[in-house]
Amino acid sequence: MTETLPQIDLLNGYLYAADPTPTYRWLRHHAPVYRDDINRLWGISRYHDIVEVEKRPRRYSNRNSYRPIPVGTYDDRSMIGLDDPDHQAQRRLVARRFTPRAVVDHDAEITEVIDGLIDEALAAGTVDAVEALAAPLPAMMIAKYLGFGIDRWREIKRWSTDTIQNGGGLRYMTEPGIIAAMEFAGACAELIADKRANPTDDMVSVWCHTEIDGEPMSDEQIIAECLLLVDGGAETTRTVIAQTLWDLIEHPDQLLRLRQNPDMIAETAVEEFIRWVTPILNMARVVTEDHELHGQQLREGDQVLLMYSSANRDEAAFDSPDVYDVGRVRNQHVAFGFGTHFCLGSSLARLEIRRFFERFLARVASFEIAAGTAPNHIPGAFVRGVDGLVLDLR
């Protein structure tokens, strides 16, 4: 008897707020190129298929299509909404700030911030781990990188929290998300005006005082780049840190391994944290030429959804992918994407996550979910955020 499922809405945030793993498994085994008629797109769920798509940017375009929003709805000016060579021209302007060597320059500051957060959390005893531990650090670093200044990190956190929900498509845009996007654009416009007149050593200043093919970047282009960095840098790292705190409580054997061998955090555990969480659930592309994939006919103009979080649980790519293994060695996950659009901030994210858990596990003797509380996942088709993670620390 053929196994069937009802129509799957791949942009339904509640699919991801629950455990999507069984759905992913069914898709990989029975419909690796799945037609989602609700959202008029194709879901690609297997690891090797996603890598092949990423290797062929001419056949699968990013232009105005990296999120599952109907083509032509808006004109995305950020680097992620462009194809090469335009994408690389904008990426090169700031790429040097995100190399492994460059982000190490922030190591001492990152560690100092983390220790301060842990000091406050231990003094309180019971904290909302998302608000007190996971959210501040990445928001502070993005605020600094852009030129807002670390003291405005709370605004960055709020803007990222609200705007990230808009990434699930037009049906799932929220009023807070739309308002936050407008507020953020206004704040960026003020910052751009200041940096055009008074440049400093930050990314907005670079964008304000550079040219691409002889043309200066417009305010709209710079605002789009800022939103990309805020959503890609603040919300995603926060999600990995928060979810990993929860995961280590749920997997005490893995927590014990890290306590007994702290070097494992840098050697293997950070990559397993990132694979397991896969903070960016998916990205979209637009087909540029008719072709067939796994028996399905894809037409020019069709949208495909690259399901990274399914790929990172693919049995064909990982040994025992549904086992949480902080010592996993073979771990070529696609949580940061693959190919020309590989995540620009991956080195910064890895450093923040590594230092957080090195310091947290060294200083916090025990942590557990506070009695009478229950963490949950925020419904969303872009990021599987954590809410209500209240911890008792000792």
Q: What is the pLDDT of residue 220?
A: 92
CB 310 within 8 A of CB 333: no
Q: What mean pLDDT comes out for the span 361-371?
A: 98
Domain ranges of the chain: 13-393
For residue 93, the model assigns a pLDDT of 86
Compute the distance between CA of residue 29 and CA of residue 341 in angstroms, rounded to an integer: 27
Taking alpha carbons only, the member of 310, 330, 332, 309 closest to residue 29 is 310
**Mapping DSSP to helix (H, G, I), strand (E, B) and coil, where does residue 393 land?**
strand
pLDDT digits (tens, 9 = 90+) for 61-74: 988 777 777 665 56
Please determine, for residue 233, whether its predicted confidence score (pLDDT) is greater than 90: no
Question: Which own/partner pairs from 375-378 qualify as long-range (CB within 8 Å, at least 24 positions apart)?
Answer: 375/246, 376/17, 377/16, 377/17, 377/18, 378/13, 378/17, 378/165
Q: Which residues of 246-265 are buried (b: 16+ CB within 10 A; e: fewer)?
A: bbbeebeebbebbeeeeebb
pLDDT tens-digit readout, 259-279? 999 999 999 999 999 999 999
Q: Are strands 390-393 and 283-287 parallel, antiparallel or unpaired?
A: unpaired
How far apart, in whole angstroms, are the C-alpha atoms of residue 335 and residue 346?
10
Averaged pLDDT, 30-37: 96
Q: Radius of gyration of the chain from Cα atoms? A: 21
Residue 169 dihedral angles phi and psi, to the nearest 5°? 115, 170
Q: Tell me the β-bridge partners of 275.
A: none
Where would I find the beta strands (DSSP E) of 197-331? Answer: 211-212, 215-216, 283-287, 291-293, 296-298, 303-306
Q: How many residues does the chain have?
A: 394
Q: What is the pLDDT of residues 64-117, one digit of tens each?
A: 777 777 665 566 668 888 888 888 988 888 889 999 999 999 999 999 999 999
**In the chain, what percentage of residues exceed pLDDT 70?**
95
Over residues 302-353, the pLDDT tens digits come to 999 999 999 999 999 999 999 999 999 999 999 999 988 889 999 999 999 9
pLDDT digit string, tens, across residues 243-255: 999 999 999 999 9
Per-residue pLDDT, 1: 40
CA–CA dist 73, 169 (Å, integer): 11
Instruction: Name the packing angle between helices 346-363 and 136-146 (round to 10°).
Output: 140
Long-range contacts of 337-340 (CB under 8 A, 24+ apart): 337/54, 337/280, 337/283, 337/308, 338/50, 338/51, 338/54, 338/55, 339/51, 339/54, 339/55, 339/57, 340/54, 340/57, 340/84, 340/87, 340/88
Q: What is the mean pLDDT of the chain?
A: 93
CATH fold for domain 13-393: Cytochrome p450 (1.10.630)
Residue type, 98: F
How large is the average pLDDT for residues 385-394? Answer: 96
* 181 vs 7: CA distance, rounded Å: 32
